[in-house]
Amino acid sequence: MPSSGSFSSIVFIALNLMISSVFPQQKTSVLEKKYPSALLKEDAKLFRDITLSMHPVIGLYKPRDYYVTLFDQYLQTLNDSLTERDFRLKTKLMAEELHCGHTEVIYSKDYYRAMNKKKLNYSPYVFIPVNDKVFVLANLNKKSDSTLKKGVEITKINGLGVDSILRYCKRFVSADGYNRSSKDHYIQLGFNAYYPALFGRPDTFSVEYKDGKTLKTLRYPAFQPKSFPPIPLGAKDDSLFTRYKKAKIKYRYLDTSKKTLLVKIEKFSRQRSDKAYRKIFRKLRKNQTENLVIDLRNNGGGSLENSYRLLSYLIDTAKTQTLRTAIKNYPYKKYTRGNVFFKLTRFAFALIGKKESRNDTDIFVYTIHPRKKNHFDKKVYVLINGGSFSASCLVAAYLKDRGRTVFIGEETGGAVEGCNAGITPYYRLPNTKISVRMPAFRIVHDVYPSLTGHGIIPDYTIEYSIKDILAKRDLEILKVKELIQK
Protein backbone atom coordinates (compact mmCIF):
# COMPACT_ATOMS: atom_id res chain seq x y z
CA MET A 1 0.00 0.00 0.00
CA PRO A 2 1.47 3.38 -0.99
CA SER A 3 2.39 5.87 1.72
CA SER A 4 0.36 9.04 2.19
CA GLY A 5 3.22 11.09 0.61
CA SER A 6 3.29 8.87 -2.48
CA PHE A 7 -0.50 8.93 -2.74
CA SER A 8 -0.48 12.75 -2.59
CA SER A 9 2.11 12.87 -5.35
CA ILE A 10 0.04 10.56 -7.55
CA VAL A 11 -3.09 12.67 -7.02
CA PHE A 12 -1.14 15.85 -7.78
CA ILE A 13 0.22 14.41 -11.07
CA ALA A 14 -3.21 13.11 -12.07
CA LEU A 15 -4.82 16.49 -11.44
CA ASN A 16 -2.12 18.20 -13.48
CA LEU A 17 -2.72 15.82 -16.39
CA MET A 18 -6.49 16.43 -16.22
CA ILE A 19 -6.01 20.21 -16.15
CA SER A 20 -3.55 20.04 -19.05
CA SER A 21 -6.00 18.05 -21.15
CA VAL A 22 -8.89 20.41 -20.45
CA PHE A 23 -6.84 23.62 -20.51
CA PRO A 24 -3.84 22.88 -22.73
CA GLN A 25 -0.92 25.26 -22.21
CA GLN A 26 -0.14 27.64 -25.00
CA LYS A 27 3.17 26.85 -26.70
CA THR A 28 5.52 29.82 -26.48
CA SER A 29 6.06 31.43 -29.88
CA VAL A 30 9.60 31.30 -31.22
CA LEU A 31 9.36 35.09 -31.39
CA GLU A 32 8.86 35.34 -27.62
CA LYS A 33 10.78 32.26 -26.44
CA LYS A 34 13.68 33.06 -24.12
CA TYR A 35 16.84 30.99 -24.03
CA PRO A 36 18.70 30.49 -20.73
CA SER A 37 22.07 32.14 -20.34
CA ALA A 38 23.88 28.79 -20.36
CA LEU A 39 22.50 27.86 -23.80
CA LEU A 40 23.25 31.31 -25.21
CA LYS A 41 26.82 31.04 -23.99
CA GLU A 42 27.18 27.64 -25.67
CA ASP A 43 26.15 29.20 -29.00
CA ALA A 44 28.35 32.25 -28.41
CA LYS A 45 31.40 30.12 -27.59
CA LEU A 46 30.89 28.11 -30.75
CA PHE A 47 30.68 31.34 -32.77
CA ARG A 48 33.92 32.46 -31.09
CA ASP A 49 35.74 29.18 -31.70
CA ILE A 50 34.72 29.00 -35.37
CA THR A 51 35.74 32.62 -35.96
CA LEU A 52 39.14 32.27 -34.29
CA SER A 53 39.75 29.00 -36.14
CA MET A 54 39.05 30.12 -39.70
CA HIS A 55 38.09 33.77 -40.22
CA PRO A 56 40.66 35.43 -42.53
CA VAL A 57 40.30 38.80 -40.76
CA ILE A 58 41.99 37.56 -37.58
CA GLY A 59 45.34 39.30 -37.46
CA LEU A 60 44.52 41.50 -40.45
CA TYR A 61 43.24 44.80 -39.08
CA LYS A 62 43.86 43.89 -35.44
CA PRO A 63 45.98 41.22 -33.67
CA ARG A 64 44.40 37.96 -32.54
CA ASP A 65 44.48 38.99 -28.85
CA TYR A 66 42.27 41.96 -29.68
CA TYR A 67 39.51 39.66 -30.97
CA VAL A 68 39.95 37.24 -28.05
CA THR A 69 39.30 40.13 -25.65
CA LEU A 70 36.28 41.27 -27.68
CA PHE A 71 34.75 37.79 -27.54
CA ASP A 72 35.34 37.63 -23.77
CA GLN A 73 33.49 40.92 -23.36
CA TYR A 74 30.66 39.67 -25.61
CA LEU A 75 30.30 36.48 -23.55
CA GLN A 76 30.14 38.49 -20.33
CA THR A 77 27.03 40.30 -21.61
CA LEU A 78 25.11 37.00 -21.83
CA ASN A 79 24.23 36.59 -18.16
CA ASP A 80 20.44 36.76 -18.60
CA SER A 81 17.97 34.80 -20.71
CA LEU A 82 17.27 36.40 -24.08
CA THR A 83 14.92 36.00 -27.02
CA GLU A 84 16.39 34.95 -30.34
CA ARG A 85 16.01 38.52 -31.58
CA ASP A 86 17.97 40.01 -28.69
CA PHE A 87 20.69 37.36 -28.91
CA ARG A 88 21.04 37.89 -32.65
CA LEU A 89 21.42 41.65 -32.21
CA LYS A 90 24.20 41.16 -29.64
CA THR A 91 25.89 38.62 -31.89
CA LYS A 92 25.54 40.86 -34.92
CA LEU A 93 27.28 43.70 -33.10
CA MET A 94 30.11 41.30 -32.29
CA ALA A 95 30.31 40.23 -35.95
CA GLU A 96 30.46 43.87 -37.07
CA GLU A 97 33.68 44.23 -35.06
CA LEU A 98 35.31 41.86 -37.56
CA HIS A 99 35.07 44.56 -40.25
CA CYS A 100 34.02 42.03 -42.88
CA GLY A 101 31.05 42.63 -45.16
CA HIS A 102 30.77 38.91 -45.95
CA THR A 103 30.20 37.93 -42.30
CA GLU A 104 26.52 37.87 -41.39
CA VAL A 105 24.28 36.66 -38.56
CA ILE A 106 20.85 35.41 -39.67
CA TYR A 107 17.68 34.45 -37.81
CA SER A 108 16.64 30.80 -37.65
CA LYS A 109 14.25 29.42 -40.26
CA ASP A 110 11.55 29.02 -37.60
CA TYR A 111 11.88 32.68 -36.66
CA TYR A 112 11.47 33.80 -40.28
CA ARG A 113 8.44 31.51 -40.71
CA ALA A 114 6.80 32.95 -37.60
CA MET A 115 7.48 36.52 -38.75
CA ASN A 116 6.00 35.81 -42.18
CA LYS A 117 2.73 34.69 -40.54
CA LYS A 118 2.34 37.85 -38.49
CA LYS A 119 0.70 41.06 -39.59
CA LEU A 120 3.39 43.62 -38.93
CA ASN A 121 3.01 47.30 -38.16
CA TYR A 122 4.74 49.75 -40.48
CA SER A 123 4.58 53.48 -40.89
CA PRO A 124 2.39 54.22 -43.94
CA TYR A 125 4.86 56.98 -44.73
CA VAL A 126 8.01 55.63 -46.36
CA PHE A 127 11.14 57.38 -45.17
CA ILE A 128 14.49 57.71 -46.91
CA PRO A 129 17.79 58.84 -45.39
CA VAL A 130 19.78 61.29 -47.55
CA ASN A 131 23.07 62.78 -46.32
CA ASP A 132 22.32 61.94 -42.66
CA LYS A 133 18.84 63.44 -42.81
CA VAL A 134 15.51 61.65 -43.22
CA PHE A 135 12.78 62.65 -45.69
CA VAL A 136 9.34 61.40 -46.74
CA LEU A 137 9.56 59.39 -49.95
CA ALA A 138 6.01 58.06 -50.35
CA ASN A 139 2.72 57.18 -48.63
CA LEU A 140 1.72 53.51 -48.88
CA ASN A 141 -1.75 53.95 -47.44
CA LYS A 142 -3.78 55.33 -50.34
CA LYS A 143 -6.86 55.65 -48.09
CA SER A 144 -5.27 58.14 -45.71
CA ASP A 145 -4.64 61.83 -46.22
CA SER A 146 -1.07 62.68 -47.15
CA THR A 147 -0.40 65.29 -44.50
CA LEU A 148 3.31 64.66 -44.96
CA LYS A 149 4.18 65.48 -48.55
CA LYS A 150 7.07 63.95 -50.48
CA GLY A 151 10.34 65.61 -49.64
CA VAL A 152 9.34 66.79 -46.15
CA GLU A 153 12.24 66.51 -43.69
CA ILE A 154 11.62 64.39 -40.57
CA THR A 155 13.55 65.34 -37.43
CA LYS A 156 12.18 62.82 -34.89
CA ILE A 157 10.37 59.48 -35.01
CA ASN A 158 8.56 58.45 -31.82
CA GLY A 159 10.59 60.89 -29.77
CA LEU A 160 14.02 59.88 -31.08
CA GLY A 161 16.15 62.21 -33.18
CA VAL A 162 16.84 60.82 -36.65
CA ASP A 163 20.59 61.36 -36.22
CA SER A 164 20.58 58.95 -33.25
CA ILE A 165 18.37 56.49 -35.13
CA LEU A 166 20.68 56.45 -38.15
CA ARG A 167 23.83 56.05 -36.04
CA TYR A 168 22.31 53.06 -34.23
CA CYS A 169 21.02 51.41 -37.41
CA LYS A 170 24.44 51.66 -39.08
CA ARG A 171 26.01 49.64 -36.26
CA PHE A 172 24.15 46.60 -37.59
CA VAL A 173 25.46 46.81 -41.16
CA SER A 174 28.62 44.75 -41.67
CA ALA A 175 31.19 46.49 -43.85
CA ASP A 176 34.69 45.81 -45.15
CA GLY A 177 37.36 47.59 -43.14
CA TYR A 178 36.34 51.06 -42.02
CA ASN A 179 34.10 51.80 -44.97
CA ARG A 180 31.11 54.08 -44.34
CA SER A 181 29.57 54.30 -47.81
CA SER A 182 28.19 50.75 -47.67
CA LYS A 183 26.54 51.45 -44.32
CA ASP A 184 24.94 54.62 -45.72
CA HIS A 185 23.88 52.74 -48.86
CA TYR A 186 22.14 49.82 -47.16
CA ILE A 187 20.48 51.97 -44.52
CA GLN A 188 19.12 54.22 -47.27
CA LEU A 189 17.65 51.21 -49.11
CA GLY A 190 16.41 49.40 -46.00
CA PHE A 191 15.61 52.10 -43.45
CA ASN A 192 11.90 51.21 -43.35
CA ALA A 193 12.84 47.65 -42.34
CA TYR A 194 15.76 48.50 -40.04
CA TYR A 195 13.77 51.01 -37.99
CA PRO A 196 10.92 48.67 -36.88
CA ALA A 197 13.31 45.75 -36.45
CA LEU A 198 15.47 47.71 -34.02
CA PHE A 199 13.04 50.17 -32.41
CA GLY A 200 9.76 48.23 -32.37
CA ARG A 201 6.41 48.33 -34.14
CA PRO A 202 4.05 50.68 -32.28
CA ASP A 203 0.33 50.96 -33.03
CA THR A 204 0.72 54.73 -33.37
CA PHE A 205 3.56 56.76 -34.85
CA SER A 206 4.51 60.27 -33.81
CA VAL A 207 6.85 62.22 -36.07
CA GLU A 208 8.33 65.68 -35.80
CA TYR A 209 8.82 67.35 -39.17
CA LYS A 210 9.81 70.66 -40.72
CA ASP A 211 7.16 72.93 -42.18
CA GLY A 212 9.32 75.70 -43.54
CA LYS A 213 11.26 76.90 -40.50
CA THR A 214 8.63 75.60 -38.07
CA LEU A 215 8.76 72.21 -36.34
CA LYS A 216 5.41 70.40 -36.21
CA THR A 217 4.28 67.03 -34.83
CA LEU A 218 1.95 64.51 -36.47
CA ARG A 219 0.47 61.37 -34.89
CA TYR A 220 -1.00 58.67 -37.11
CA PRO A 221 -1.90 54.95 -36.85
CA ALA A 222 0.38 52.18 -38.01
CA PHE A 223 -0.29 50.45 -41.32
CA GLN A 224 -0.37 46.67 -41.92
CA PRO A 225 0.25 45.93 -45.61
CA LYS A 226 0.15 42.34 -46.82
CA SER A 227 3.78 42.81 -47.78
CA PHE A 228 6.07 45.80 -47.78
CA PRO A 229 6.65 46.70 -51.44
CA PRO A 230 10.13 47.46 -52.77
CA ILE A 231 10.68 51.16 -53.20
CA PRO A 232 12.16 51.88 -56.64
CA LEU A 233 14.90 54.49 -56.66
CA GLY A 234 16.50 56.04 -59.70
CA ALA A 235 15.34 56.41 -63.28
CA LYS A 236 13.30 53.68 -64.93
CA ASP A 237 14.98 51.51 -67.54
CA ASP A 238 13.99 52.36 -71.07
CA SER A 239 13.21 49.98 -73.93
CA LEU A 240 16.54 50.66 -75.65
CA PHE A 241 18.38 48.21 -73.41
CA THR A 242 19.37 44.82 -74.82
CA ARG A 243 19.20 42.29 -71.99
CA TYR A 244 20.94 39.05 -71.17
CA LYS A 245 18.65 37.95 -68.35
CA LYS A 246 20.59 34.92 -67.14
CA ALA A 247 23.86 36.83 -67.18
CA LYS A 248 22.24 39.81 -65.39
CA ILE A 249 23.76 42.13 -67.99
CA LYS A 250 22.12 44.76 -70.20
CA TYR A 251 23.50 47.39 -72.53
CA ARG A 252 22.52 50.32 -74.73
CA TYR A 253 24.18 53.11 -76.69
CA LEU A 254 23.88 56.57 -75.17
CA ASP A 255 24.08 58.28 -78.56
CA THR A 256 22.96 57.70 -82.14
CA SER A 257 26.55 57.78 -83.41
CA LYS A 258 27.36 54.72 -81.25
CA LYS A 259 30.39 56.37 -79.70
CA THR A 260 29.42 55.55 -76.10
CA LEU A 261 28.08 52.19 -74.88
CA LEU A 262 26.58 51.76 -71.41
CA VAL A 263 26.85 48.26 -69.91
CA LYS A 264 24.93 47.66 -66.69
CA ILE A 265 26.12 44.58 -64.75
CA GLU A 266 23.56 43.89 -62.02
CA LYS A 267 25.60 41.05 -60.52
CA PHE A 268 28.40 38.75 -61.63
CA SER A 269 26.20 35.80 -62.46
CA ARG A 270 27.59 32.33 -63.04
CA GLN A 271 25.31 31.89 -66.06
CA ARG A 272 25.91 32.84 -69.69
CA SER A 273 28.28 35.77 -69.07
CA ASP A 274 30.77 34.45 -71.67
CA LYS A 275 28.21 34.77 -74.47
CA ALA A 276 27.15 38.25 -73.32
CA TYR A 277 30.70 39.57 -73.20
CA ARG A 278 31.59 38.09 -76.60
CA LYS A 279 28.68 39.91 -78.24
CA ILE A 280 29.24 43.18 -76.39
CA PHE A 281 32.97 43.46 -77.11
CA ARG A 282 32.50 42.39 -80.73
CA LYS A 283 29.93 45.18 -81.06
CA LEU A 284 32.40 47.67 -79.54
CA ARG A 285 35.00 46.74 -82.15
CA LYS A 286 32.64 46.70 -85.15
CA ASN A 287 31.12 50.09 -84.27
CA GLN A 288 34.51 51.60 -83.37
CA THR A 289 33.01 52.73 -80.09
CA GLU A 290 35.23 55.22 -78.27
CA ASN A 291 33.77 55.14 -74.74
CA LEU A 292 32.64 52.23 -72.59
CA VAL A 293 30.58 52.97 -69.47
CA ILE A 294 30.44 50.09 -66.96
CA ASP A 295 27.73 50.53 -64.36
CA LEU A 296 28.63 48.65 -61.15
CA ARG A 297 26.27 50.55 -58.88
CA ASN A 298 24.37 48.26 -56.51
CA ASN A 299 26.34 45.26 -57.80
CA GLY A 300 26.95 43.12 -54.72
CA GLY A 301 29.39 40.77 -56.44
CA GLY A 302 29.12 37.12 -57.44
CA SER A 303 31.27 34.87 -59.59
CA LEU A 304 35.05 35.35 -59.64
CA GLU A 305 35.19 33.58 -63.01
CA ASN A 306 32.76 36.12 -64.47
CA SER A 307 34.77 39.07 -63.13
CA TYR A 308 38.02 37.61 -64.50
CA ARG A 309 36.36 37.16 -67.89
CA LEU A 310 35.27 40.81 -68.04
CA LEU A 311 38.74 42.03 -67.01
CA SER A 312 40.40 39.96 -69.72
CA TYR A 313 38.78 42.23 -72.35
CA LEU A 314 40.04 45.39 -70.63
CA ILE A 315 43.43 44.98 -68.90
CA ASP A 316 46.58 45.60 -70.93
CA THR A 317 48.99 43.21 -69.23
CA ALA A 318 48.66 40.03 -67.18
CA LYS A 319 47.68 40.63 -63.55
CA THR A 320 47.55 38.28 -60.58
CA GLN A 321 45.12 37.84 -57.74
CA THR A 322 45.93 35.92 -54.56
CA LEU A 323 43.56 33.74 -52.56
CA ARG A 324 44.71 32.33 -49.25
CA THR A 325 43.23 30.17 -46.53
CA ALA A 326 44.54 28.85 -43.21
CA ILE A 327 42.26 25.79 -43.16
CA LYS A 328 42.25 22.54 -45.12
CA ASN A 329 38.80 21.51 -43.83
CA TYR A 330 35.95 23.39 -42.22
CA PRO A 331 36.38 23.37 -38.43
CA TYR A 332 33.40 22.12 -36.41
CA LYS A 333 32.02 20.40 -39.49
CA LYS A 334 28.90 19.02 -37.79
CA TYR A 335 27.47 22.55 -37.61
CA THR A 336 27.80 23.29 -41.32
CA ARG A 337 27.67 21.76 -44.79
CA GLY A 338 29.74 21.89 -47.94
CA ASN A 339 33.17 20.72 -46.77
CA VAL A 340 33.49 18.54 -49.88
CA PHE A 341 32.76 21.57 -52.08
CA PHE A 342 35.38 23.55 -50.15
CA LYS A 343 38.01 20.87 -50.81
CA LEU A 344 37.02 20.75 -54.50
CA THR A 345 37.39 24.53 -54.69
CA ARG A 346 40.88 24.33 -53.19
CA PHE A 347 41.73 21.65 -55.75
CA ALA A 348 40.35 23.80 -58.61
CA PHE A 349 42.31 26.86 -57.45
CA ALA A 350 45.47 24.73 -57.45
CA LEU A 351 44.75 23.58 -61.02
CA ILE A 352 44.03 26.98 -62.56
CA GLY A 353 46.58 28.89 -60.49
CA LYS A 354 49.85 28.46 -58.69
CA LYS A 355 49.76 26.97 -55.18
CA GLU A 356 52.28 27.39 -52.39
CA SER A 357 52.19 26.89 -48.63
CA ARG A 358 53.61 29.17 -45.97
CA ASN A 359 53.44 27.82 -42.43
CA ASP A 360 49.77 26.93 -41.92
CA THR A 361 48.46 29.02 -44.85
CA ASP A 362 47.83 27.79 -48.39
CA ILE A 363 48.21 30.45 -51.08
CA PHE A 364 46.68 30.25 -54.58
CA VAL A 365 47.82 32.78 -57.19
CA TYR A 366 45.61 33.18 -60.26
CA THR A 367 46.77 35.10 -63.34
CA ILE A 368 44.28 37.11 -65.40
CA HIS A 369 45.49 37.24 -69.00
CA PRO A 370 44.36 39.95 -71.45
CA ARG A 371 42.52 38.77 -74.55
CA LYS A 372 43.74 39.70 -77.99
CA LYS A 373 40.43 39.24 -79.82
CA ASN A 374 37.98 42.15 -79.38
CA HIS A 375 40.14 43.69 -76.67
CA PHE A 376 38.98 47.19 -75.70
CA ASP A 377 41.80 49.66 -75.04
CA LYS A 378 39.96 52.97 -75.16
CA LYS A 379 38.32 55.14 -72.52
CA VAL A 380 36.36 53.42 -69.76
CA TYR A 381 34.03 55.13 -67.28
CA VAL A 382 33.03 53.13 -64.18
CA LEU A 383 29.97 54.04 -62.07
CA ILE A 384 30.30 52.98 -58.43
CA ASN A 385 28.54 53.43 -55.10
CA GLY A 386 28.30 51.93 -51.62
CA GLY A 387 26.53 48.90 -53.11
CA SER A 388 29.55 48.04 -55.30
CA PHE A 389 30.88 45.12 -53.28
CA SER A 390 32.96 41.94 -53.48
CA ALA A 391 33.53 40.90 -57.13
CA SER A 392 32.41 44.28 -58.45
CA CYS A 393 35.07 45.93 -56.27
CA LEU A 394 37.60 43.44 -57.65
CA VAL A 395 36.79 44.59 -61.19
CA ALA A 396 36.89 48.25 -60.16
CA ALA A 397 40.29 47.85 -58.46
CA TYR A 398 41.91 46.28 -61.52
CA LEU A 399 40.35 48.83 -63.85
CA LYS A 400 41.67 51.63 -61.66
CA ASP A 401 45.15 50.13 -62.04
CA ARG A 402 44.62 49.94 -65.83
CA GLY A 403 44.60 53.70 -66.35
CA ARG A 404 42.40 55.36 -69.00
CA THR A 405 39.57 54.74 -66.55
CA VAL A 406 37.43 57.38 -64.84
CA PHE A 407 35.42 56.56 -61.71
CA ILE A 408 32.17 58.39 -60.98
CA GLY A 409 29.85 58.07 -57.98
CA GLU A 410 30.81 57.32 -54.38
CA GLU A 411 33.32 55.15 -52.55
CA THR A 412 32.82 51.44 -53.21
CA GLY A 413 31.39 49.27 -50.47
CA GLY A 414 34.19 46.75 -50.93
CA ALA A 415 37.77 47.49 -49.90
CA VAL A 416 40.27 48.30 -52.66
CA GLU A 417 42.78 45.74 -51.34
CA GLY A 418 40.38 42.79 -51.33
CA CYS A 419 37.91 41.00 -49.10
CA ASN A 420 37.21 37.86 -47.07
CA ALA A 421 35.09 35.64 -49.30
CA GLY A 422 35.69 32.94 -51.94
CA ILE A 423 33.40 30.47 -50.19
CA THR A 424 31.19 31.45 -47.26
CA PRO A 425 29.68 28.50 -45.37
CA TYR A 426 26.78 29.01 -42.98
CA TYR A 427 27.21 27.63 -39.47
CA ARG A 428 24.02 26.88 -37.53
CA LEU A 429 24.32 27.44 -33.80
CA PRO A 430 22.83 24.40 -31.99
CA ASN A 431 20.52 26.03 -29.44
CA THR A 432 19.05 29.15 -31.04
CA LYS A 433 19.47 27.77 -34.61
CA ILE A 434 20.78 31.16 -35.69
CA SER A 435 23.10 30.93 -38.73
CA VAL A 436 26.44 32.66 -39.01
CA ARG A 437 27.99 33.24 -42.43
CA MET A 438 31.75 32.70 -42.27
CA PRO A 439 34.20 33.37 -45.15
CA ALA A 440 36.89 30.75 -45.79
CA PHE A 441 39.34 32.68 -48.03
CA ARG A 442 41.11 36.00 -48.03
CA ILE A 443 41.10 37.46 -51.56
CA VAL A 444 43.92 39.92 -52.18
CA HIS A 445 43.87 42.33 -55.12
CA ASP A 446 47.56 42.23 -55.99
CA VAL A 447 47.39 45.60 -57.76
CA TYR A 448 46.59 47.26 -54.39
CA PRO A 449 47.95 44.90 -51.70
CA SER A 450 48.41 47.52 -48.93
CA LEU A 451 45.73 47.56 -46.23
CA THR A 452 43.59 50.70 -46.31
CA GLY A 453 40.25 49.55 -44.93
CA HIS A 454 38.54 51.75 -47.52
CA GLY A 455 36.98 51.38 -50.94
CA ILE A 456 37.87 52.88 -54.29
CA ILE A 457 37.47 56.65 -54.18
CA PRO A 458 35.83 58.09 -57.33
CA ASP A 459 37.50 60.72 -59.48
CA TYR A 460 34.17 62.58 -59.50
CA THR A 461 32.11 62.29 -56.33
CA ILE A 462 28.35 62.42 -56.78
CA GLU A 463 25.97 63.44 -54.00
CA TYR A 464 22.21 63.16 -54.40
CA SER A 465 19.76 65.55 -52.78
CA ILE A 466 16.19 64.56 -51.93
CA LYS A 467 15.09 66.64 -54.95
CA ASP A 468 17.34 64.57 -57.23
CA ILE A 469 15.91 61.35 -55.84
CA LEU A 470 12.28 62.45 -56.19
CA ALA A 471 12.97 63.67 -59.74
CA LYS A 472 14.61 60.27 -60.50
CA ARG A 473 17.70 61.91 -61.92
CA ASP A 474 20.72 59.79 -62.82
CA LEU A 475 23.54 62.14 -61.86
CA GLU A 476 26.31 59.67 -62.72
CA ILE A 477 25.10 59.27 -66.30
CA LEU A 478 24.71 63.04 -66.62
CA LYS A 479 28.31 63.42 -65.44
CA VAL A 480 29.52 60.86 -68.00
CA LYS A 481 27.82 62.76 -70.81
CA GLU A 482 29.29 66.05 -69.59
CA LEU A 483 32.83 64.62 -69.48
CA ILE A 484 32.53 63.05 -72.94
CA GLN A 485 31.26 66.31 -74.43
CA LYS A 486 34.28 68.12 -73.00
Q: pLDDT of 392-408, one tens digit each?
A: 999 999 999 998 999 99
Hey, where are the domains in the chain? 34-117, 125-221, 242-425+439-485
Widest Cα–Cα separation across the chain: 106
Check residue 1 and give its pLDDT: 42
pLDDT tens-digit series, residues 122-167: 999 999 999 999 999 998 877 666 789 999 999 999 999 999 999 9
* Fold held by 125-221: Pdz3 Domain (2.30.42)
User: DSSP string covering 170-230, please?
Assistant: HTTS--STT--HHHHHHHHHHHHHHHHHHH---SEEEEEEEETTEEEEEEEE-B--SSPPP
Average pLDDT over residues 472-483: 96
Grade residue 26 by pLDDT with cuts at 50, 70 and 90.
low
Is residue 428 scored above 80 in pLDDT?
yes
Is residue 2 scored above 90 in pLDDT?
no
The whole model's pTM is what?
A: 0.90
User: What architecture (CATH level 2) is domain 242-425+439-485?
Assistant: Alpha-Beta Complex (3.90)
Grade residue 14 by pLDDT with cuts at 50, 70 and 90.
very low
The amino acid present at 259, given as its one-letter code, is: K
Q: Say if strands 426-428 and 435-437 run parallel, antiparallel, or are unpaired.
A: antiparallel
Of 313, 327, 395, nearest in space to 357 by CA: 327
pLDDT tens-digit series, residues 66-114: 999 999 999 999 999 999 999 999 999 999 999 999 999 999 999 999 9
Q: How far apart are CA 261 and CA 284, in angstroms?
A: 8
